[in-house]
Structure 1
Amino acid sequence: MFFRTTTLLATAALAAAATTNTNLQTTFPTASTTTNLAAAQTVTKSASFDGEMLQWDRSPSTCHDQAEGGDQDALFILEDGATLSNVILGPNNGEGIHCKGSCTLNNIWWTDVCEDAATFLQASGTSYVNGGGARNASDKVLQHNGGGAMAVKNFFASNVGKVYRSCGNCKTQHARSSSFVNVRVEKASVVAGVNANLGDSTVISDSCVLGSAVCWLYNGNSDGKEPTKVGSGPSGTACAVSGVSTAGC
């Protein structure tokens, strides 16, 4: 079964990034050793950090189930323009990765997500998630609290809640854009949760979505109240899909 629409609501930056790539890995890597950090490690502005496919984690643990944490509970903090590559995140960090500005995540793997896998706080610009995957997230994987856009490709998610969520009740709200190209999602609640009333737009293309909803639509707010879910499925406005298979892929 395929969902298709002729309207793709993507920004120019997202459209340029949305080239189908068959380099999708669905086997989680196994690290030879774990590096435990006593505090979050910062990757400075426009710098790059290569984790060399080792597992990185926090000790003592900062994972407190679904209790909201801050930078102090993260594993990596990325400043504007920073790039993080080849990291396996262990289960004992509460907040995963915090991107303070636009960032790039290359081949990042979350073995067991605590509160969120990654939170994107940029004021504008586009953040990229290239490859990698996440599993066992009771709620969100990619949390988009700032503005601008997110482009996700070649990503694998299994047994998670929302793969992506545009913040539903942040104090400062934005019309956020997101794209998902060549992703495989298994046993999730939904691929993308977006705020239809705030001008969000998401495009999901050339992907396999199994046992999961494609989009949920919300009425977001800026007063901290729980946002109201108002719809699901491709809407042709806030959520557009093309070449998405929901069986046999």
Structure 2
Amino acid sequence: MARFISLLCVVLAATASVSSAWPTSKGSVRYKEVKVIKKGETFDGGMKTYQRSDIKCSGQSEGGWRDAVFKLEPGAKLKNVIIGPDQREGVHCDDNDCTVENVWWEDVCEDALSIKGGNKNSVTHVLACGAKNADDKIIQHNGYGHVNINGFYAENFGKLYRSCGTCGNIKRTVALNHVWGYNPK
């Protein structure tokens, strides 16, 4: 517990360089099913709000990638997106080596970003992102490898990052830089 508190203090001390300005949406898009970003592709959402037309948040009930707004294949990049409240899973990186950049979750449901699969050399990048209103965790890391969180604003949240506690002996690491946490629960 003392280690966690020490880490939290270090993380909060490094927050001064992260902006808390929430982006303004430039439009709205609703999907009837998960939008898959193919291997190696980049999806630039133009700072529009994306959500599901067929799913509403149902609290902390566990969903899967089919309940997400976006699913990223290996090497895919999602950028300049606002995730709206009508979704259960936000964004899924179910294989490895995804990048989310300038992605903002207005109202986190079960979790904002799920990272699964990969191998010990997998790296997922979370760059200049933010999330609000997460009853529990924002980023769930159930896979192998490393998650690099560089520039993140979290408001009204339980946990910024959660490493799977029931995934067995799977080595995973995380680096946190320029994180601002406001009103953690």
- TM-score between the two structures when normalised by the length of structure 2: 0.87
The reply to whether residue 106 of structure 1 matches residue 75 of structure 2 is: no
Which of the numbers 146, 160, 171 marks the counterpart of 1:175? 171
**What is the match of residue 136 of structure 1?**
133
Aligned-pair CA distance for 1:153: 0.9
Deviations 1:148-177 (A, max 9, x none): 01010111001101100001113x441210
CA distance in 2, matches of 1:23, 1:99: 27
**What is the match of residue 68 of structure 1?**
62
Fraction of identical pairs, as percent: 39
The reply to whether residue 154 of structure 1 matches residue 148 of structure 2 is: no
The reply to whether residue 49 of structure 1 matches residue 30 of structure 2 is: no
Consecutive unaligned residues of structure 1, counting only runs of 5 or more, are: 5-19, 190-249
CA distance in 2, matches of 1:152, 1:181: 6
Moved beyond 3 Å, runs of 4+: 20-23
Deviations 1:52-106 (A, max 9, x none): 0000000122421110001110000000011000000000110000002220010
Point out the more displaced range, 55-64 or 178-187: 55-64
Tell whether the 8 Å contact from 1:163 to 1:188 is kept in structure 2 after alignment.
Answer: no
Tell whether the 8 Å contact from 1:149 to 1:178 is kept in structure 2 after alignment.
Answer: yes
The structure whose Rg is larger is 1
Aligned to 1:154, the other structure's residue is in SS state strand
Q: Tell me which amino acid in the other structure corresponds to 1:185.
A: G
CA distance in 1, matches of 2:144, 2:30: 32
Q: Tell me which amino acid in the other structure corresponds to 1:83.
A: K
CA distance in 2, matches of 1:130, 1:169: 27
Count of aligned residue pairs for this structure pair:
172
CA distance in 1, matches of 2:33, 2:106: 19
Aligned to 2:66, the other structure's residue is in SS state helix
Deviations 1:171-222 (A, max 9, x none): x441210010111111224xxxxxxxxxxxxxxxxxxxxxxxxxxxxxxxxx
Q: Tell me which amino acid in the other structure corresponds to 2:136.
A: D
**What is the match of residue 11 of structure 2?**
none
CA distance in 2, matches of 1:106, 1:133: 10
Consecutive unaligned residues of structure 2, counting only runs of 5 or more, are: 1-5, 8-13
Over aligned residue pairs, what C-alpha RMSD do you find?
2.0
Aligned-pair CA distance for 1:122: 3.1
